[in-house]
A and B are shown apart, each in its own frame.
Chain A
Amino acid sequence: MTHKRWTTLVSIGLTATMLAACGNGGNGGNGAAGNAGSEPSKAENGSTGSGSGGNVTLRYALWDSNQEKGARKIADAFEAKNPNIKIKIEVAGWSDYWTMLEAGATGGSLPDVFWMHSNEIYRYASNGMLLDLNDQIAKSTEVKLENYPEGLNQIYNFDGKQYAVPRDFDTIGLWYNKTLFDKANLSYPDENWTWDDLKSAAKTLTKDGVYGLLAPMHNQEGYYNFVYQNGGTIITDDKKSGYDDPKTIEALDYYISFTREGLSPMTVVDAERPELIKNGKVAMGIFGSWNLSSFAENEYMAKNFDVAVLPKKEKQASIYNGLGHAIDAKTKHPEEAWKFVEFLSSKEGQEMQAELGLAIPAYKGTAQKWVESSSTFHSQVFVDMVQYGVVRPYSNTTLVWEDKAYEALKPAFLGQATVEEAAKNAAKIMNESLSQEK
């Protein structure tokens, strides 16, 4: 074994591993690009006779594998109506999904139709990656924007152009353990509940190793709701931070007081939140409507839990958000893609989505069918809360300032800083971040 050989071996090892991280990123991209690369050729083959009624294959991408089966059924219904169009569903997990779209957008091979989210709409819309749907919507008899919640329409509207049609929405509810409420002789939460009711119930229910309320360090399924109930804000209309608003600080202080007073476990690890409620460690918890099926599958929760609207302070509020269906700006089949989106967004498509129990449909009046699709919990409350729902705060770089705000607020949760200090610091950092937005 010579010296030189080892040196060579080591230096090869070094170079090979140096950018392993980059390699990883690249792999994701490569994988996606590979997939994407093979698809258009198929679509092209299919499209050779599209003008004369030949077959067209549309790629439809989504990120929730739990909804794949249902989405397939809806696609089947569409195919039955449009025999010349085939839908090919592509599913990727949340983060892989965005890596795939990113690669597709960079390489010019996006899926024809895909789910869009408020966190990402700005980047895709402002870079001309999405098809402007204004004309199609104006001409359509099935899709009229007034049939969808205005807040959701706004998310996908950029410079006056509509880039996606709302598909569904989610709201946040107060989950409570009926059995423990009965034992403590407390009345169940309802729409008349105030912050004081929540606090006193949490105090009564905190005993025997069970915490009254799970108030974790979480924005959407946590303090955002309380901020808006108190008349505060997270981001102002002119894109400034709302964390230094006294109303916001007051709400944060109320929210954090549950942990401070031992009424809520100190929860900072995201994955532990659902485990705490599923194992009966907390009597009440704040969770979004998308947890419905996983909570219903949990025997303990199905037996003991139910859900109510969130309590109120100055007003009632629940954070809501919803995804939309967007079309690739460079799709080879804009007409067929729109036909599909039109079907997905139509009353018929949305009712199917509701009956299949996929997600609360955005089309006004179809949500009732979603409520009926599951009887384990009183899921009607999620639909009720839309009337006073507040769209999840967003701007062009939501992900960046959300994480920075988390970091700044952390000391307040841990009791290492006052809520006011932490909130003002969060406002400062968030404003710095917002000022760098284009």
Chain B
Amino acid sequence: MQSQAVKRTSGKKAWKEWAWGWFFIAPTIVGLVVLNLIPMAQSAYLSFFKSGDFGRNNIYVGLDNYRKLVQDAQVWHAVANTLLYAAIVVPVSIALAMLIAVLLNQKIAGRSAYRTIYFIPMIAAPAAVTMVWRWMYNQQFGLFNYVLSKFGLPPVDWISNPRLALVSIAVIGIWSVVGYNMVLLLAGLQEIPKDYYEASDIDGAGRIRQFFVITLPLVTPTLFFVVVTSVIQAMQVFDVIFMMIDVTNPAYDHTVSLVYLFYNSSFKYMDRGYGSAIVMLLLALIMIITFFQMKAQKRWVHYQ
């Protein structure tokens, strides 16, 4: 009798805890399901259809969209551009963010002012930022070409030269993301116990050596997170390219990203099915890259 009663109360208690647990994570779970998982499943579903107007009369076409995808040279340009963009933006932005984070982790005057300044690009609207950059890159009247002309150099076609345009765009991407990565890394740096530095001071290690022997290994968990999220973010590059590069631009083929192609197919040409197939390809690419990053983390990430 008694034991049963205990059991019942403990069962009740467990259920209560379980309910409260779900209750607390519900806002996140609901958001995730409604805003991410359901649309994701719908995109996957839609990629097997030729979409009709206004969400009606979708025709099932099996793998046709994917067949078209494989044969579409522009999709493969976009894959190459997207990967190249990520390959430029991720290492450069993280290296810069690391450098700034280490510098701002010291006791220097106006430290919080610097931190704020570096973080500002993150809170500025990407479209507005791009407008300003577009002006600076302007071939005839832009700031950069004006400076070049002061040194007697010829103007550069920053955003219409096929070889240069992606780099010009990557510069904006780096500029926008450095502050955010810096803040994350700074948080990681501050978790490193001071004792290690004090001990190595006594042992006579210099600043550079301290960075490679103490700072870098101990910040790897944060660094790993920054790398993974930066790659995902870079793979989804869209707004800057969309604002800068029209289809008439000679650099279009060398800058168009997968999300830009997805946007054009889905919202300009109203071919939602094909657009969904493109975004599925992007999803697959991101999953593959992230999978390998997860595998590789054992080799270089040191959890304390």
Residue positions of A touching B, CB distance < 8 A = 1-3, 6-7, 9-10, 12-23, 25-26, 99, 102, 105-106, 123, 126-127, 129, 217-218, 265-266, 268-272, 275-276, 279, 281, 397, 399-400, 403, 406-407, 410, 413-414
Contact = CB atoms under 8 A, between A and B. Distances in A.
B252 A407 contact: yes
B236 A127 contact: no
A174 B40 CA distance: 50
Q: Which of A17, A218, A266, A281 has the most chain B CB within a 10 Å cutoff?
A: A17
Given A21-B279, A275-B141, A414-B250, A127 B53 contact: yes
B158 to A, nearest CB: 10
Interface in B257-299: 259, 262-264, 266-270, 279, 282-283, 286-287, 290, 294
Interface string B228-263: 110011001010000000111110100000010011
B53 A123 contact: yes
B37 interface: yes
Contact of A14 (B159, B191, B250, B286): B286
Given A7-B294, A127-B54, A269-B246, A276 B232 contact: no
B225 A10 contact: yes
Contacts of A23: 35-36, 39
A275 B131 CA distance: 14
B140 A272 contact: yes
A397 B268 CA distance: 10
Contacts of B36: 15-16, 18-19, 23
Contacts of B259: 21
B304 interface: yes
A3 B40 CA distance: 27
Nearest to A407: B247
Contacts of A406: 247-248
A1 B304 CA distance: 7
A2 B301 CA distance: 11
A9 B228 CA distance: 11
B286 A279 contact: no
A81 B37 CA distance: 52
A6 B293 CA distance: 12
30 contacts: A10-B229, A10-B290, A10-B294, A13-B229, A15-B32, A17-B229, A18-B36, A18-B283, A19-B43, A19-B283, A21-B238, A21-B263, A21-B279, A22-B40, A25-B267, A102-B54, A126-B53, A127-B53, A217-B248, A218-B248, A269-B139, A399-B268, A399-B269, A400-B269, A403-B268, A403-B269, A406-B247, A410-B248, A410-B252, A413-B250
A218 B56 CA distance: 34
A155 to B, nearest CB: 18
Nearest to B131: A271
B54 A272 contact: no
B197 interface: no
Contact of B54 (A15, A19, A129, A399): A129
Q: Is the interface of B mostly helix, strand, loop or mixed?
A: helix
B36 to A, nearest CB: 6
Contacts of B294: 7, 10
Given A25-B267, A269-B246, A271-B134, A13 B228 contact: yes
B154 interface: no
Interface string B33-67: 00111011001000000000111100000000000
Interface in B196-225: 221, 224-225
B138 interface: yes
Contacts of B181: none
Given A14-B232, A19-B40, A123-B270, A272 B286 contact: no
Nearest to B229: A13
Contacts of A123: 53-54, 270
B160 interface: yes
A26 B39 CA distance: 9
Contacts of B268: 399, 403
A403 B303 contact: no
Contacts of A276: 140
Contacts of B248: 217-218, 268-270, 406, 410
Q: Which 8 pairs of residues, A with B, have the shortest CB-CB distance?
A: A106-B54, A21-B259, A400-B269, A217-B248, A106-B55, A403-B247, A105-B54, A127-B53
A246 B92 CA distance: 51
A117 to B, nearest CB: 14
Nearest to A120: B270
Given A20-B236, A275-B140, A399-B269, A268 B249 contact: yes
Contacts of A400: 269
A14 B232 CA distance: 7
A254 to B, nearest CB: 19
B74 to A, nearest CB: 9
B140 A99 contact: no
Nearest to B268: A399
Given A3-B303, A16-B32, A270-B248, A279 B232 contact: no
Contacts of A18: 36, 40, 232, 283, 286
Nearest to A98: B267
Given A18-B286, A106-B55, A269-B160, A9 B303 contact: no
A6 B140 contact: no
Q: Which of B53, B138, B232, B269 has the most chain A CB within a 10 Å cutoff?
A: B53
A406 B245 CA distance: 13
Contact of B279 (A9, A22, A410): A22
A22 B279 CA distance: 8
Contacts of B250: 268, 410, 413-414
A438 to B, nearest CB: 10
Contact of A6 (B191, B225, B252, B266): B225
